[in-house]
Amino acid sequence: MTQPGRRERKKAQTRTALADAAMRLFSERGYDEVTVTEVAEAADVSVTTLFKHFPEGKESLVFDQDTSQREALVAAVRDRPAGQSILAALRAHLKSLHEYSPAERELLRQLLRLVSRSRELREYSDRMWLRHGEALAEAIAAEVGADPREMKVRALARYVVDAHTLAGWEDDPQQAIDDIFDLLVGGWGDYGSTA
């Protein structure tokens, strides 16, 4: 595999510095209280540079891994080992996303709290995960020979992307993912019946 060149490394460093500065400021003062100018200054770059790296705007500073997350979801389906089901591949992928240290777990919780407190961030997050769900539905449909607009395909993709967010709030996200996928694989059946 070819190593990235100096220019690509510098771009990645700048992007990371901007995202880190944004999260620090947003965590300290709240998303709505911080301007893009302040984020750029904290990362020691111009506002123009900030928008070159984050052209979607201020919200995208919080979701700096949007594209890579979407690509990884699609790859989990498309590049899964022969004989592995789509659901097994997606379960394994989501569980791998929740393998982190206690410090990383706390960062995730800070992110979730930040998003929950801002209407703009909640709306951006909803749009982002909707895009992820659409990309995942297309990947699933391609694998099973279905139309990506088919309800079963769209519903499955939506449940999978929502599983990631739901699990993030749990003390044991790996178990939460297993619980969710057990329902997806086995179906709801008579779950919750009192008989």
Domain with CATH 1.10.10.60 in the chain: 1-58
65-186 folds as: Tetracycline Repressor; domain 2 (1.10.357)
- Which regions of the chain carry the CATH code 1.10.357.10? 65-186
Return the pLDDT at 193: 54
The answer to whether 184 and 159 are in contact (CB under 8 A) is: yes
* Spatial separation of the C-alpha atoms in residues 16 and 5, rounded to whole Å: 17
pTM (2 d.p.): 0.80
pLDDT of residue 41: 96
**Nearest to 98, CA basis, from 179, 172, 180:** 172
Question: What residue has token string 């791998």?
Answer: 96
- Sites in the chain below the pLDDT cut of 70: 1-2, 189-195
In this prediction, residue 97 carries a pLDDT of 86
The DSSP 8-state label assigned to residue 169 in this structure reads T
Residue 54: which H helix or E strand, with range? none
Query: Which pLDDT tens digit goes with each residue over 17-59?
Result: 998 999 899 988 989 899 999 999 999 999 999 999 998 889 8
Local structure of 150: helix, strand or coil: coil
Q: What is the CA radius of gyration of the chain?
A: 19
The dotted CATH code for 1-58 is 1.10.10.60
Task: Check residue 187 and give left, alpha or beta (phi > 0: left; psi -120 to 50: alpha).
Answer: left
Contact 95, 170 (CB under 8 A): no
Give the pLDDT of residue 192: 61
